[in-house]
Amino acid sequence: MEQTLVIIKPSGLERALTGQIISRFQSKGLIISGLKMMQLDEKILREHYAHLVDKPFFPSLLASMMASPVIVMALKGVDAVAVVRAMTGATNGRKAAPGTIRGDFSMSGQENIIHASDSPENAQIELNRFFRAGEIFDYKPANIGFVYSPDERNQ
């Protein structure tokens, strides 16, 4: 099964949305395979947002992502990357569809509550960036047979 990285950003943590966000992913049937709180610094953010370092809003994005600790999560499931991106919604919360996390909880293009990996390749890179060996767990939840069919479970 695929794994993906979610970060509950300071906008999610400070607005006390952590429980609701985790609950949505659990209710969907995604498996939490890693979960921890950490304080991000400029070094890790320059790597994580390397595609944005030259944008005029980058200093503001840096400050926003360091404004409080964040929660990082590894989520596992069939097609987990695409499923979690769909649940996340468009980057700008004002344009994100209702029913998505950003669509329901954000009014901003920057303070948009969570990060989610955008491809399986980037998910692997990002999981390695935010989790150390031993911090991601491989276990089979007891309800797995009620989340997937037998053939899906082996994907």
Task: Centre a 10 Å sphere on the Cβ of residue 54 and count the other Cβ atoms it contains.
Answer: 7
Residue 48 binds ligand UDP, judged by CB under 6 A? no
Nearer to ligand UDP, 90 or 144 (CB): 90
Could you tell me which residues are beta bridge partners of residue 32?
Answer: 75
Residue 68 binds ligand UDP, judged by CB under 6 A? no
- Return the range that interacts with ligand UDP (CB under 6 A); candidates 30-38, 67-75, 111-119, 132-140: 111-119
Cα–Cα distance for residue pair 138/38, rounded to 1 Å = 21
The residue with its CB nearest to ligand UDP is 110
Residue 118 binds ligand UDP, judged by CB under 6 A? yes
Beta-strand runs (E) in 39-140: 70-77, 114-116
Q: How far is the CB of 76 from ligand UDP (least distance, A)?
A: 20
Which residues within the stretch 73-92 sit at the binding site for ligand UDP (CB under 6 A)?
Answer: 91
- Return the range that interacts with ligand UDP (CB under 6 A); candidates 19-27, 72-80, 109-117, 134-142: 109-117
Residue 115 binds ligand UDP, judged by CB under 6 A? yes
Task: Outline where the chain has alpha helix (H).
Answer: 10-14, 18-28, 42-48, 58-65, 80-88, 101-105, 120-130, 150-153
Could you tell me which residues are beta bridge partners of residue 113?
Answer: none
Q: How far is the CB of 122 from ligand UDP (least distance, A)?
A: 9
Beta-strand runs (E) in the chain: 2-8, 31-38, 70-77, 114-116
Residue 4 binds ligand UDP, judged by CB under 6 A? no
Helix, strand, coil share (%) of the chain residues, nearest 5: 45, 20, 40
Active site residues: 115
For binding to ligand UDP (CB under 6 A), which residues are involved?
52, 57, 61, 91, 109-110, 112, 115, 118
